[in-house]
């Protein structure tokens, strides 16, 4: 009797093994069957650190999707998309740059949302003591300060608006060093190439080489709003829409809050 029992047990074991292998193979095939997609996201330079973290968490849920980021000033990114650059999503640091693309038909209005907010601050090198307020920028011993190029960098546009509203733009205009994006402004201040700079709060808090000495009052400049949307000519609309929606979920919003952004 023992021999037949052994044969039955061996048969059952082999059957279970074959079934398990078959299931594993089906799982692998199912995973492989998902179309590999590469998305290009043009995003404001101030979003770089937050988006790097979000990229990691999104990859865990969607290994078939590769996210490629193009970080720069929103004005430059807008111009690239306007001229037909192959971009799937645009994440701007300014409403006007985003709205321009909506007006041009590059982004459908229903495929965009105002997602984040930010603050504008005055920063100086960590050991700088001569600048503690915006008024100090007019002092003769302050010969250089940096902002983003107002025509292409939203933070630079907001900075110029704020300095004009404070009535000191004419006194400091000759001292200006213009940068290609807000991260370059921060770099100029960190290295001591300028005595002060105006950047987003989210950038300033990431650096241990600068300190915040003042915050621009919201009423002195255009509201700082970050809209994000799907570019109309994307070849991967469904994948782009999934990532667009993911950016609006709690998991992603908590990352943005961690980096100092306000949730609209």
**Residues of the binding site for molybdate:** 46, 74, 155, 182, 200
- 229 three-class SS: strand
DSSP-derived secondary structure for 103-146? HTTSEEEEEEEEEEE--EEEEEETT--S-SSGGGGGSTT---EE
Torsion over CA: 224, 161, 216, 76 (sign): positive
Would you say the C-alpha torsion 197, 203, 207, 213 has a positive or negative sign? positive
Give the other-Cβ count within 10 Å of 93's Cβ.
30
What is the Cα gyration radius of the chain? 26
Residues in the annotated binding site: 46, 74, 155, 182, 200
Helix (H, G, I), strand (E, B) or coil at 191: coil
Q: Would you say 53 and 202 are in contact if contact means Cβ atoms under 8 Å apart?
A: no
């Amino acid at each position: 009797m023992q021999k037949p029992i052994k044969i039955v047990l061996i048969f059952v074991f082999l059957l279970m093994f074959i079934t398990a292998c078959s299931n594993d193979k089906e799982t692998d095939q199912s995973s492989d069957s998902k179309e590999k997609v590469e998305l290009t996201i043009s995003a404001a330079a101030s979003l770089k650190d937050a988006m790097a973290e979000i990229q990691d968490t999104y990859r865990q849920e969607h290994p078939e999707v590769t996210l490629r980021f193009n970080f720069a000033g929103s004005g430059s990114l807008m111009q690239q998309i306007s001229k037909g650059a192959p971009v799937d999503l645009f994440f701007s640091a300014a409403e006007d740059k985003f709205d321009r693309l909506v007006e041009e038909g590059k982004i459908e209005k229903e495929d965009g949302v105002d997602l984040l907010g930010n603050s504008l601050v005055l920063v100086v090198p960590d050991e700088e003591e001569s600048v503690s307020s915006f008024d100090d920028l007019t002092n003769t011993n302050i010969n250089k300060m940096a902002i983003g190029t107002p025509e292409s960098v939203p933070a630079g546009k907001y900075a110029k608006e704020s300095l004009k509203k404070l009535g000191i733009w004419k006194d400091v205009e000759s001292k200006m060093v213009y940068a290609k994006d807000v991260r370059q402004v921060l770099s100029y201040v960190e290295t001591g190439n300028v005595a002060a700079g105006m950047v987003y709060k989210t950038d300033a808090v990431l650096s241990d080489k600068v300190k915040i000495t003042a915050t621009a009052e919201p009423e002195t400049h255009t509201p700082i709003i970050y809209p994000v949307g799907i570019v109309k000519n994307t070849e991967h609309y469904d994948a782009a829409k999934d990532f667009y929606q993911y950016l609006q979920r709690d998991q992603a919003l908590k990352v943005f809050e961690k980096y100092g952004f306000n949730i609209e």
